[in-house]
Structure 1
């Protein structure tokens, strides 16, 4: 299968390559396209506008012409995948869809951590749309200061801040901690109190299921 991934951070290419390798997906071909300008535009606009959503959907549609499946890995732009999938000939998937579905099967407190504030609302909307366990209770939290570290190129500091935030939520009684953005994935290896869910693993498993 040829899976084309649309990223908005160059560092996510390695995240998805590593996740694919860990899941034993070497028989599939992964193609990576990075468009940081799309996320930068959303950040500048204070969130995802209709214009940026349409622009992203157009990119996804163009990529779908040479792929068996297209995966949008940016949570801020997630709904553009839903828009593109209406007319695409192949599956266009937002990577955090399966993440939300799995998390909300939890009978208890689910805490979704975001690193950038433009992801808060799209994550809230997505988690509200999926089927949920009657006892599931959702909290969405921003890891303050983490995104500044990411933008400065301090990836180690970024992941450490997220891991610390995840551990703090486990200590406060979270039954499930979710790392809402693909760029946060490495923090799951650094936590001491539990293993958070990550979008690349959930998303790739769902694509191939």
Structure 2
């Protein structure tokens, strides 16, 4: 069985960007994409209820049964739950935003967390506080919800989505030491505001780099058994 780096997405829009990124960083690694849009929809509407958690777990275990050496969850709303499922089952499951959070807190200071979905704010805040505690760094967190952007994403208006985010980043940047983009889908907005006076942290590249390291370690472990 070919062991894959399997991506768990809650939107098919994430497939192409992560394929492109993987082809840049590690083109030899075989990838598989699993898309479960209902997980985000129900997590937003109901929260991470026991039933939603069971469905996340079932999706991950099915991916492992299908040959996933590592699962990378690209959805920030359910990422923490996915990570806990993997820990409980003994399988490598990564949330895409953990590596980003570790980089963001490295210097401490005031962080502005920008999101286009309210459901990502709390998990991102909790992740940053956890990473800061582990690193022994003091941080303060402000939040910016770009409320009109998500509807554009759902309509397929990617350009409008990114421009709305970029406009909000320009407003919030002066009060922050760094900006954290809570969702992987927001990453390309950075290119629209290259004049920002503070660093902007996004999750796709550090997340996929962490997943590649985990994949290589997992495959090596499997091969040595």
**Structure 1 unaligned spans of 5+:** none
**Residue 169 of structure 1, aligned match among 172, 180, 185:** 172
Aligned to 2:184: 182
The normalised TM-score by structure 1 is 0.90
Q: Distance in 1 between matches of 2:17 and 2:71?
A: 17
Verify the 8 A CA contact 1:115 1:147 in the aligned structure 2.
yes
**Structure 2 unaligned spans of 5+:** 214-225
Given the alignment of the two structures, is residue 26 of structure 1 paired with residue 30 of structure 2, yes or no? no
Q: How many residues align?
A: 206
Instruction: Give 1:11-160 correspondences, 5 Å limit.
Output: 11-22=13-24, 24-45=25-46, 47-65=47-65, 66-130=67-131, 131-132=134-135, 134-160=137-163
- Larger Rg computed on CA atoms: 2
Given the alignment of the two structures, is residue 202 of structure 1 paired with residue 206 of structure 2, yes or no? yes
Q: Distance in 2 between matches of 1:89 and 1:3?
A: 16
Verify the 8 A CA contact 1:54 1:80 in the aligned structure 2.
no
Q: Report the CA distance between 1:89 and its aligned residue.
A: 4.5
Q: Report the CA distance between 1:180 and its aligned residue.
A: 1.0
Q: Distance in 2 between matches of 1:140 and 1:193?
A: 21
Q: Distance in 2 between matches of 1:206 and 1:124?
A: 20
Verify the 8 A CA contact 1:146 1:158 in the aligned structure 2.
yes
Verify the 8 A CA contact 1:85 1:91 in the aligned structure 2.
yes
Q: Report the CA distance between 1:189 and its aligned residue.
A: 1.8
Higher helix share: 2
| Structure 1 residues 117-176: Cα deviation after superposition (integer angstroms, max 9, x where no partner) | 111111122222113453432223211211111122211100111122222222x14222
Verify the 8 A CA contact 1:8 1:34 in the aligned structure 2.
yes
Aligned to 2:7: 5
Distance 1:200 1:120, change over 3 A: same
Aligned to 2:221: none
The normalised TM-score by structure 2 is 0.84
Verify the 8 A CA contact 2:116 2:146 in the aligned structure 1.
yes
Verify the 8 A CA contact 2:179 2:201 in the aligned structure 1.
yes
Task: List, as ranges, runs of 4+ consecutive aligned residues in structure 1 with deviation greater than 6 Å.
Answer: none
Q: Distance in 2 between matches of 1:133 and 1:177?
A: 20
SS at match of 2:5: strand
